[in-house]
Amino acid sequence: MVNSVSVYRGRLAPSPTGLLHLGHARTFWTALVRARASGGQLSLRNDDLDTARCRPEFVTAMRDDMQWLGLTWEEPMISQSTRIALYRAALTRLHAAGLIYPCSRSRRDVLAAISAPHETDESDEPLYPAEFRPALGTPPPPLSNPITINWRFRVPDGATLSFIDGHFGEQRATAGSDFGDFLVWRKDDMPSYQLACIVDDAAMGITEVVRGADLMRSTFRQLLLYRALGLTPPAFHHCPLVTDDQGQRLAKRHDALALRTLREQGKTPAELGY
Ligand code: GLU
């Protein structure tokens, strides 16, 4: 009999906010190779919660570019925008456990209050200043419906978190200094990436998350959410970031290195190394 616990299950989780580039190709290819090597399965998750930036044409483009590259996955694709009730149920549990609080500070307020805002990676959350927190033990107000204020998870200051990364080896971070209280729900009534990601990875039975090293710090935040919700975290394998010839990390705005552009220039997946 097959032991279901040992079945490898991975996922490809692009956000349809732009065209996929060489960095996505490397990460997704690694995910495919790892799933195949374990005789496992690979799902496709459409991380489409950023309503201001996600566009349906990028969903079509990402599927098409991934197929062109030779990636395969199990259908149907899972779209996060159809799963809000699941995330809301997790939020309710965090609220009942007194682990979250409402926050009316803007990113600009946070950046103005921290001593070294220039060190903040613009794609990551800045360290939330402790003086902005409500006093410990303050009961949170009820969750409204719809939600019109940001909600944050209070991290256990000074707690050290660690995990063994499949590529980079042992990773450690201290809550409250390497990362601070982070968003779990946004005032536009959408879950944060952190919350939606762990709810889905747990619900989809993902055994290993393969993603870019830009999300390493998020992994520590997510480990706290797994613990808070009594869920077992998957293994993690972060892929080194691909940089351009000036050493800049690839972003979706680097259209020159978009898979679509390379393909239109006549490049083949084999020429890209796949
Ligand atoms: N959707 C995220 C991105 O495109 C990746 C999320 C993840 O793999 O956890 O950056």
Please name each of the domains of the chain with its CATH number: 9-264 (3.40.50.620)
Test site for ligand 1: of 17, 45, 215, most ligand atoms within 8 A of the Cβ: 215
Does the Cβ of 211 fall within 6 Å of ligand 1? yes
Name the pTM for this structure.
Answer: 0.94
CA 131 to centroid of ligand 1, rounded, Å = 30
Residue 60 has a pLDDT of 98
Does the Cβ of 257 fall within 6 Å of ligand 1? no
**Which amino acid residue places its CA nearest to atom 5 of ligand 1?**
13
Question: What is the position in ligand 1's atom list of the atom closest to the CA of 14?
Answer: 4
Beta bridge partners of 46: 79
Q: Identify whether 16 is preceded by a cis peptide bond (ω within 30 of 0).
A: no
CA 48 to centroid of ligand 1, rounded, Å = 10
- Polymer length of the chain: 274
Cβ count within 10 A of residue 117? 13
Q: What is the pLDDT along the chain (274 residues), one digit of tens a residue?
A: 444 557 999 999 999 999 999 999 999 999 999 999 999 999 999 999 999 999 999 999 999 999 999 999 999 999 999 999 999 999 999 999 999 999 999 888 888 888 776 666 777 889 999 899 999 889 999 999 999 999 999 999 999 999 999 999 999 999 999 999 999 999 999 999 999 999 999 999 999 999 999 999 999 999 999 999 999 999 999 999 888 888 887 776 667 789 999 999 999 999 999 9
Beta bridge partners of 100: 153
Q: What six digits make up the tokens of 142?
A: 């009820």
Residue 5 has a pLDDT of 56
Q: What six digits make up the tokens of 169?
A: 């080896």
Question: What is the position in ligand 1's atom list of the atom closest to the CA of 211?
Answer: 8
The set of residues, in sequence order, having a beta carbon less than 8 Å from that of 243 and lying 6+ positions away, is: 249, 250
CA 47 to centroid of ligand 1, rounded, Å = 7
CA 13 to centroid of ligand 1, rounded, Å = 5
Residue 248 has a pLDDT of 82
Does the Cβ of 197 fall within 6 Å of ligand 1? yes
